[in-house]
A and B are shown apart, each in its own frame.
Chain A
Amino acid sequence: MTTSWIFQWTAILALAHLSLGEGFSASQKLADFSNKTDLRATPTGFFILDGEDPQFYWKSINLNHYSVQGALLILEFEEPLAQRGYWEFYWGSSNEGAHEGTKVFFTAGRRGDNFIKVWLPLNESSLYRNHPFGDLVEVRINPPRILTGGFRVHTLQLFFESPHDLPSDVELARLFQYHTPESFLRAETFTDVSGRILRDWFGNWTRDPFFIIFYLFTLGALLWGLRRLARSAPKS
């Protein structure tokens, strides 16, 4: 694997960041979470990747018992992305490694973005069904040059099948083996998620004003035409 091909990170490498603010030093947690690392933390709380072959694996998460339906991960960048790039998220097992066959998710970042956000609808992926939630996650970013600064996890949320499955905050903390700031790690149901996706989708309303103006004008013209025809109907 070469640097020019793909960087491999763990999604929860990013999670490692979450744990840093609560009494752990970066070096301590990184030692826990990575077996081979060229990651260094900056004073501002971001991480920077360098080195020829950085690989990060986050281990010892097992949520099978909790019927996790999905997760939301938001990565934050110290500087806006220099160009378009994409992220691939791999679920796998630490025994087998997170290889191609376990690839389940993909998202794209745009030039100028400060965040990327990915929904991980775990139980809805046909690929995932053959690969139960493992204890290893990788995030690959390509091309690597899109990052000119550091990165960190802004949010990781887990979604459970029903409110009855929601683990308590204490259980969550135990699962992740560190203290979880409430603002970062929360449990939600899919009802919350669907509302969020709908809001994103309806966000087009404000994000493309030229089209909205054209669209409303077209609808108005058609309605005006219909009304005019209705008024000018010839007598048979």
Chain B
Amino acid sequence: MIRARLTATHDAVERHTLWRLLLAGILVRVLIMPFTGHIDVLSEARRIHYFWENSIWFDLNSARSVSNFIQLFFYSFTRFLMPNPEELFFMRDVAASTATFTEFFAFVGTPGSWRALFLIKTPFLFMDLASLVLLLHLMKDAPSRRRMTLWWLFNPVTVFSFYFFGRFEAIPIFFFILMIFALTRKRWLLAALSLTLAANAREPFALMIPILALFLLNKGIVAKAWERVGAIFILGLGLFGALNLHLIFGLSLTSQLEVTSLMAETRGASLIGFALYWFSLFVFSYGLLSIWMFSRSARDIGMTGLLGFTLFWFAFFAFTTTTSHFTAWMIVGPLIFAARNPQWTRPLLFFFAAWIGMWAIMTDPGVFTHWLAAPISLHLIAIPILPKWYQVLVEPHTFMILPYMIWVWQSLFVASIAYLASLAVLDFRRIEKNGGTQ
């Protein structure tokens, strides 16, 4: 009886703590939501609005259909609250749906832009909190749940990505977490479907499809033949959609000119562009990981999947070039590990510091300025960004020219990733030694 009472008290304390953290987390988000957003937030909102009002479908939406439909679903409820939507989301030419800086300024200067930004971000808030619910289900005990809540609600990467920057990353990340959740529950079809949804919410998640397909063929996975075939078929469909392959075959849905298949997307060169003649670290790591996921006899499927996909994102962000808010994609794995093991706290804090330092010094205008992607960007107010200050104030007095300083911070960022990767492998080994339980 005493034990039961202690357990009840313990549960009440835990619930109380989680509620306080949750309310504080929502408060932080609400404080940010109306006031900031990258220019692409407007581009995306315009496409949603034009689809809703005029049934104009943009080819870009095909590769991100899941994100778009979820935003569209929310828009159908919030549309009546949107002030002057025709004016806010006005698009002169539907063949050029990506907003220009001047158009963004027109948006920012329009009465009601704060309200619009708040409403645009409501689906992200929903998916963000839904992600937390899933993550809590991955935790075994109260301290882990508390740490998970703390890390998820207050880590700077997702808060920046979802709310300061304001893009839809919360949507693919939710489905990515759902995939991890499905793997831990041995729900192979759900895992394949979740990754397919993630890949069709944000294209780079499609890079994980071959890895998951190989993993599903792993001998350690006990599944019926039709389950494997079904899962791989779903993944194939996901790949087709995420890569916008219909465009390769000339099946454009609109007359939009600015989008092509991802297979022809020149920015994809960043995946192998960081190469020494023939050797690409990303492809090398990808290959290693694929072999490991395919061939190693996995005892703890969930843990193996978590480690594999965590290492995938580590390789992606260590060896390729991206932008600041993309880092949110890789943060799920480290946060799960950190919630389970408090020893991750300091390395993770170092990682956040390196991330902020790197993007502050190598920023591109309007993306990670000291305004943190606020609507009032460099283009409009011309206040110099940190690199410019550095060149004016520091460079004349030292050999550390700006490119050296950028390399220093990039190296620190990669070092922090490498350290986290080693921690993840050590945790994995420790858990396997203990019989596969976390």
Pair A190/B111 contact, Cβ less than 8 Å: no
- List A contacts of B30 (CB < 8 A): 215, 218-219, 222
Whole-angstrom CA separation of A170 from B111 in the bound complex: 39
Q: Which stretch of A18-26, A100-108, A149-157, A173-181 is in the interface?
A: A100-108
Whole-angstrom CA separation of A108 from B87 in the bound complex: 8
Pair B23/A222 contact, Cβ less than 8 Å: yes
Pair B31/A219 contact, Cβ less than 8 Å: yes
Residue among B84, B108, B378 making CB contact with A201, cutoff 8 Å? B108
Residue in chain B with minimal CB distance to A117:
B109
Residue among A105, A110, A211 making CB contact with B114, cutoff 8 Å? A211
- List B contacts of A229 (CB < 8 A): 16, 19-20, 23
Main secondary structure of the interface of B (DSSP, over half): helix
Q: Which stretch of A34-42, A53-61, A191-199 is in the interface?
A: A191-199
Pair A106/B379 contact, Cβ less than 8 Å: no
Q: Does B12 contact A (CB under 8 A)?
A: yes
- List A contacts of B379 (CB < 8 A): 121, 124-125
Q: Does A69 contact B (CB under 8 A)?
A: yes
Chain B, 87-122, CB within 8 A of any chain A CB: 87, 90, 92, 100-103, 105-106, 108-115, 118
Whole-angstrom CA separation of A233 from B21 in the bound complex: 13
Pair A226/B113 contact, Cβ less than 8 Å: no
Chain B, 367-417, CB within 8 A of any chain A CB: 375-376, 378-383
Residue in chain B with minimal CB distance to A204:
B114
Q: Looking at A118, A219, A229, which has the most chain B CB atoms within 10 Å of its CB?
A: A229
- List B contacts of A234 (CB < 8 A): 9, 12-13, 16
Q: Does A223 contact B (CB under 8 A)?
A: yes
Residue among A106, A190, A222 making CB contact with B26, cutoff 8 Å? A222
Q: Write the B1-34 contact mask toward A (1 if CB under 8 angstroms, else 0).
A: 0000000011011001001100110110011001
Whole-angstrom CA separation of A208 from B131 in the bound complex: 32
Pair B27/A211 contact, Cβ less than 8 Å: no
Whole-angstrom CA separation of A105 from B92 in the bound complex: 12
Residue among B83, B106, B376, B383 making CB contact with A108, cutoff 8 Å? B106
- List B contacts of A119 (CB < 8 A): 102, 105, 380
Q: Given A106-B92, A194-B381, A229-B16, is A208 in contact with B112 using a C-beta cutoff of 8 Å?
A: yes
Q: Which residues of A contact B (CB under 8 A)?
A: 69-70, 84, 86, 104-108, 110, 118-119, 121, 124-125, 190, 193-194, 197-198, 200-201, 203-204, 207-208, 210-211, 215, 218-219, 222-223, 225-226, 229-230, 232-236
